[in-house]
Amino acid sequence: MTRLFGIIFCTILIYISTCLPTLARQSLPVDTGKVTASLISSHDSVAPGQSFYVALRTDLDEGWHTYWRNPGDSGEPVQINWILPSNMSAGDIHWPLPKPIPTGPIVNYGFEGTPLFPVEFIAPANAKTGDILTLKSEFYYLVCKDVCIPENGTAQILIEIGDTVTDDEWREPIEKALELSPRKAGVNGAIDNANNRIQMTFTDLPKGDVSKSYFFPYPQGVLQHSQPQEVQIGADGLRLETAPDYLWDEGDIPKNISGILTYTDNGIYRGVEVDLTVNSTVDIGAISSSKASPSIGDITVWSALIGAFLGGIILNIMPCVFPILSLKALSLAKTAHNDRSANRKSAWAYTIGVLTTFILIAIILVIIKSTGAQIGWGFQLQSPKIVGWLAILLFVIGLNLLGVFEFGAGLQNTGASLTKKDGFAGSFFTGALAVIVATPCTAPFMATAIGYALAQPALIMFIVFIALGFGFALPFLILGYMPALLTILPKPGPWMVRFKECLAFPMFAAAIWLVWVLSFQAGANGVAIILTSTMFMAFAIWLFKAHAKWTKILAGLAICIALSLPVTLSPSAATPSLDPVTAQTDTQIWSQEAVAQNLAQGRSVFVDFTAAWCVTCKVNERLVLNTKAVQTLFSETQTTILIADWTNKNDVIASELQRYGRAGVPLYLVFTPKTGAEKGIVLPQTLSYDVIKEALEN
């Protein structure tokens, strides 16, 4: 009986000792699942009217994170609800400095490890020595890794009223948390939305390194958290540029926006609280080129115009344009010995067709940009429907060039016939089609100019695209005014029939290439749909050749079916990733996280921004990237290849291209452990072994 009583007594004693909160120092720990939480105090006991701190201490499992007061693209902030004596109140949370936490295409603001959330309290002035203050908290946080789990708990801590006694165990961690918690430091700031780009300027900066500064706004809707903040350092301050969020569109921006500007001081991550004046800027002095943003560098309107003009000229010799330019070559062969007036009219018709199409592309880009979408050069070939229609068009043109049929009255309204008509209409639509199929190629000088144009107001974009169009049309315009260059061609005769038939095969090759692109975009079903469309188009042509009225009705129906089938095409969820690497080189799918992870492992990184429809990309892969020499170089230098496949629309890739001042692919970047993950080394669009080797070595 005595033993039984002893067991019961001990059990009750253990229960009481575990359930009652401890006096001062630290509450009992609460395991909420992925976090172990407790309350810690800066004091064992306090005098009446004295201030002290109690902090919620959260010990997160490895790889898990909780969220700051502005959680970023997703999440919820840590919340603490206090239950206090009637004559006490709690101060605000002294938030620790957050860090950007990328998760796929989104960026959150939060904490990992063991963050503290200190809160200031003041002991009641009328408290008496020996009184016990019971501070109870109900806390909640969303903890995330691969999944997100809401967790909550309660804890309480007892503080005695008496002589002031500092708790040596938790004083130092709380004081350090308070020291690192951002406070105002006299930094002046301003923010403005200019041309759909946020510019934040800061002066009177604290001492330290601001080359990797980042601004965390308190309110949501100011910045697109997933977009990078590009750093520009001036002689008198700092500028950060990024993309605006929804508050600017809604016109709901306050007069001032507060937030945290981070920097490093002797390797310590620090931050200051800044109030930004809206719709204002601060002069930060001359920009240091070594610290300038990688987006547009020192490019000006004039350099963009020159680059676009030269790029347009060079675009004529890019492989993607050859099938359509062959049509123009056939037209030149026919008119070489005509009078000058006819040649000039044809040249100007072609030029007007080119310029009109470039202007239409610019208008579409402006409209799509106004919706907030990310878009770039070659955007139309990211649509399986357009790729399908182009494949059908080039297939029909090829059949016509082979002489399978001649366009009659029934087909005069089809797109293909327009490119074959003599006179103004034929030249105009040949120029229009040449522009459409030219977009898979990006010529030298052209990439930076287009990237610059897409970041500018509509007027500048139109001017740059017109310069590109004039460069593209210039060779044929010159031929129209220099008939002596055309007279070296033989006079029209039987040779032209063979020449026309030979030009059919580049058309078929281009159609095959487009169907191959479609296999990446819409999968096997997409290929089957477009091949069925070409069958109906061939059937329609066969019916037209019968010259009977009822067969022409059936032919029209077949054409409608052929052109309507591509409407059903859509990007396939199972689209395979492009992998140009054929050797044993380590290849992964690109993400900013993958870059950082490989660099952390001591590996260099080669990023290939590519697309199935990008002819320049395919040429570089075949002639350079897939060669044994380059593969061996990657292997010997422990370089990981990351593939950013832009075959289908991808806003994250488009945003990264924009960050480097590019509007399309290809883009080749090299990161090394020395350079870090912030800014890659940009390689030329025309690759070589020596170019890649030099970048990896330097």
Domains, the chain, ranges and CATH?
Answer: 18-180 (2.60.40.1250), 184-291 (2.60.40), 301-568 (no CATH), 587-697 (3.40.30.10)
- Residue 526 binned pLDDT confidence (cut-offs 50, 70, 90): confident
pLDDT at 682: 87
Pairing label, strands 51-60, 35-41: antiparallel
- Residue 584 binned pLDDT confidence (cut-offs 50, 70, 90): very low
pLDDT at 566: 83
- Residue 440 binned pLDDT confidence (cut-offs 50, 70, 90): low
- Residue 495 binned pLDDT confidence (cut-offs 50, 70, 90): low
* Cα separations in angstroms, 598 against 212, 369, 465, 698: 20, 33, 39, 18
Does pTM surpass 0.75? Answer: no
The C-alpha atoms of residue 50 and residue 127 are separated, in whole angstroms, by 11
Secondary structure (H, E, C), 548-587: CHHHHHHHHHHHHHHHHHHHHCCCCCCCCCCCCCCCCCCE
- Residue 504 binned pLDDT confidence (cut-offs 50, 70, 90): confident
* 504 compared with 246, residue with greater pLDDT: 246
* 23 compared with 270, residue with greater pLDDT: 270
Q: Which two tokens stand for residue 580?
A: 């140009």
Average pLDDT over residues 74-80: 92
Q: Is residue 484 packed enough to be buried (19+ CB in 10 Å), middle (13-18) or exposed (0-12)?
A: exposed
* 324 compared with 221, residue with greater pLDDT: 221
State pLDDT tens for residues 142-178: 999 878 899 999 999 999 888 777 666 788 899 999 9
The C-alpha atoms of residue 322 and residue 486 are separated, in whole angstroms, by 19
Residue pair 189/201 in contact (Cβ under 8 Å)? The answer is: yes
* 268 compared with 316, residue with greater pLDDT: 268
Query: CA nearest 396: which of 384, 387, 405?
Result: 405
Place of tokens 């810690």: 40
Q: Is the pLDDT of residue 442 over 60?
A: no
Q: Is the pLDDT of residue 571 over 70?
A: no
Place of tokens 């002095």: 285
Query: CA nearest 435: which of 401, 476, 396?
Result: 476
Q: What is the mean pLDDT of the chain?
A: 78
The C-alpha atoms of residue 84 and residue 123 are separated, in whole angstroms, by 11
Q: Is the dihedral of CA 513, 516, 520, 525 positive or negative?
A: positive
Q: Is residue 179 packed enough to be buried (19+ CB in 10 Å), middle (13-18) or exposed (0-12)?
A: exposed
pLDDT at 307: 77
- Residue 20 binned pLDDT confidence (cut-offs 50, 70, 90): very low
Phi, psi of 133 (to 5 degrees): -90, 120
pLDDT at 585: 54
Q: Is residue 489 packed enough to be buried (19+ CB in 10 Å), middle (13-18) or exposed (0-12)?
A: middle
Contacts of 625 (CB under 8 A, 6+ apart): 580, 581, 608, 687
Average pLDDT over residues 558-573: 77
Average pLDDT over residues 588-603: 85
State pLDDT tens for residues 59-75: 999 999 999 999 998 88
Q: Is the pLDDT of residue 618 over 90?
A: no
pLDDT at 335: 57
The C-alpha atoms of residue 156 and residue 145 are separated, in whole angstroms, by 28
pLDDT at 272: 94
pLDDT at 266: 80
Q: Is the pLDDT of residue 664 over 80?
A: no
pLDDT at 330: 58
- Residue 96 binned pLDDT confidence (cut-offs 50, 70, 90): very high
Q: Which two tokens stand for residue 44?
A: 């064992």
pLDDT at 572: 56
The C-alpha atoms of residue 292 and residue 182 are separated, in whole angstroms, by 26
Average pLDDT over residues 491-504: 66
Query: CA nearest 663: which of 374, 412, 247?
Result: 374
357's enclosing H/E stretch is helix 340-370
- Residue 327 binned pLDDT confidence (cut-offs 50, 70, 90): low
Phi-psi region of 656 (alpha: psi -120 to 50; beta: other; left: phi over 0): alpha
State pLDDT tens for residues 187-200: 999 999 887 889 99
The C-alpha atoms of residue 450 and residue 438 are separated, in whole angstroms, by 14
Residue type, 536: F
Could you give the angle at the alpha carbon of 123 between the alpha carbons of 118 and 124, nearest 5°? 145
User: Any idea which of 13-22, 94-103, 605-614 has the lowest mean pLDDT?
Assistant: 13-22
Contacts of 135 (CB under 8 A, 6+ apart): 39, 54, 82, 84, 88, 121, 156, 157, 158, 159
User: Any idea which of 158-172, 274-288, 363-377, 425-439 has the lowest mean pLDDT?
Assistant: 363-377
User: Any idea which of 269-278, 498-507, 509-518 has the lowest mean pLDDT?
Assistant: 498-507
pLDDT at 298: 43
pLDDT at 334: 57
In the chain, how long is the greatest CA-to-CA distance? Answer: 127
Torsion of CA 123, 126, 131, 137, to 10 degrees: -40
Displacement of CA 541 from its chain's centroid (Å): 45
Max mean pLDDT among 27-36, 580-589, 662-671, 678-687 falls in 27-36
The HSE-up count of residue 357 (CA atoms within 13 Å, CB side) is: 23
pLDDT at 582: 43
Residue type, 592: Q
pLDDT at 446: 58
The C-alpha atoms of residue 561 and residue 533 are separated, in whole angstroms, by 7
pLDDT at 435: 76
Average pLDDT over residues 624-632: 88
Average pLDDT over residues 30-53: 92
213's enclosing H/E stretch is strand 209-217
The HSE-up count of residue 180 (CA atoms within 13 Å, CB side) is: 19
Residue pair 140/79 in contact (Cβ under 8 Å)? The answer is: yes
How many residues appear in the chain?
698
| Percent of the chain topping pLDDT 70 | 76
Query: CA nearest 552: which of 405, 361, 373, 388?
Result: 405
Write the DSSP string, 219-264: STTSB-TTS--EEEEBSSEEEEEE-B-HHHHHT---SEEEEEEEEE
Place of tokens 């400095």: 97
Average pLDDT over residues 460-470: 83
DSSP state of 602: T
* 108 compared with 385, residue with greater pLDDT: 108
pLDDT at 370: 59
Contacts of 390 (CB under 8 A, 6+ apart): 436, 437, 514
Secondary structure (H, E, C), 635-684: HHCCEEEEEEECCCCCHHHHHHHHHCCCCCCCEEEEECCCCCCCCCEECC
Contacts of 499 (CB under 8 A, 6+ apart): 330, 333
Q: Which two tokens stand for residue 105?
A: 């295409």
The C-alpha atoms of residue 550 and residue 543 are separated, in whole angstroms, by 9
Residue pair 565/391 in contact (Cβ under 8 Å)? The answer is: no
Secondary structure (H, E, C), 55-97: EEEEEECCCCEEEEEEEECCCCCCEEEEECCCCCCCCCECCCC
User: Any idea which of 219-223, 235-239, 429-433 has the lowest mean pLDDT?
Assistant: 429-433
- Residue 449 binned pLDDT confidence (cut-offs 50, 70, 90): low
| Percent of the chain topping pLDDT 90 | 22
